[in-house]
Amino acid sequence: MSQLQWQWIDNDAALASLCLESRSKDFVAIDTEFVRTRTYYAQLGLIQLYDGVNLALIDPLAITDLSPFWQLLADESVVKVLHSGSEDLEIFAQRGGVVPKPLFDTQVAGVLLNLGAAMGYAKLIKHYLDIDLDKGESRTDWLKRPLSDAQLNYAAADVLYLHQIYPTMLAAITEAGRLDWLWQEGERACRGRLDPERPEKAYLKVKNAFQLKPKQLAVLKSLAHWRLEVAIRKDLAVNFVIKDALLLNIAKKAPRSLAYLEQLEGLDARTFQRYGRSILGAVARADLDNPPEPIDPTGLDPDFREAVAEVRTLVLKLAEQHQVQPEFIASKKLVSQYVNYIWQDCFGKTPDLLQGWRGEICAQPLMKLVLR
């Protein structure tokens, strides 16, 4: 790859000027580079932006005021083009309290255009531009300074080519009659991103939590609440506080003394010294008289599994009929969400399978199924 003509943005005035100009464009291509090894929050190392004129590499380590960039993301007159943007969205929400509107995710567009399963960026660029991207700098520590020309060239290429393929993909998806689907998926990807953390729900993300009995689950709920608060306060990935398997074991044993806790399998001396008393405190705070509902209580029910299978069979037929990837119409999670909704007599939030473009495809056929 030859040297690209990018500009390095490392001060507030330059960023403000860049973003003001970019907000006059119809669309901008955006990417981020970050490091996330032991931290709870991704550590933003670089922001790449191309608006068709300015190919910019923005240094968030040097800039003190990123608000012009956040304002650009929120400007609904400018389409934000990203590829597989889930982690970028997390960073934007956490750092800037914003999500990009409107969002055109080229990976989603590729699926809707029947280019196959979710395509990686390099494969997408090869498909549209017949360019082989050099991914040799993908393991860069983006927090180090200075970054080499090769690293910066690699980063700039991501948004340069993303910007180039957008008009072609936009035309194709418009012709296919699926542009509205694409916008809906962008909104869906951003849904809930700005919601505050809910430590009281953290136990739902603990692996194998469904195995626990009600009182054990009450203990896990208290432990997971405590662990998440520690992780956020220390900016430490939750499993670097205490791993899921150990948290589960503590919940099962519900230790009430340091002596008993110290003997638990999987608890090393360092973790015991650092968190022993806090763990006992979390165990003691568990509300055993009001345990949470069992996790996915119907998931192991044979009748529930049969209902899920029926919905999956229907989805496969609809996917073939409408030429859409089955997993994109309805992942396992969305199918379970729908069956739970039906089993609860349509109580609660309307499932995704009955909303938007999915509802247009699925609602009437689903109504013909007898799932109970």
**Catalytic residue numbers, as ranges:** 31, 33, 88, 154, 158
Cβ pair 66, 15 in contact under 8 A: yes
CB-side exposure of 102: number of CA atoms within 13 Å? 14
How many angstroms separate the CA atoms of 255 and 25, rounded? 60
CB-side exposure of 92: number of CA atoms within 13 Å? 27
Pairing of strands 55-58, 79-82: unpaired
How many angstroms separate the CA atoms of 194 and 92, rounded? 9
Rg (CA), the chain: 24
Alpha helices in the chain (DSSP H): 12-22, 67-74, 86-91, 106-112, 121-129, 149-175, 179-190, 214-234, 238-241, 244-253, 258-262, 269-285, 302-322, 326-329, 332-343, 356-367
Q: Provide the β-strand partners of residue 55.
A: 50
**Among the listed residues 215, 232, 216, 193, the one whose alpha carbon sits nearest the alpha carbon of residue 85:** 193
Phi, psi for residue 345 in degrees, rounded to 5: 55, 40
349: its two tokens: 């939030």
Alpha helices in 34-148 (DSSP H): 67-74, 86-91, 106-112, 121-129
CA 112 to chain centre: 19
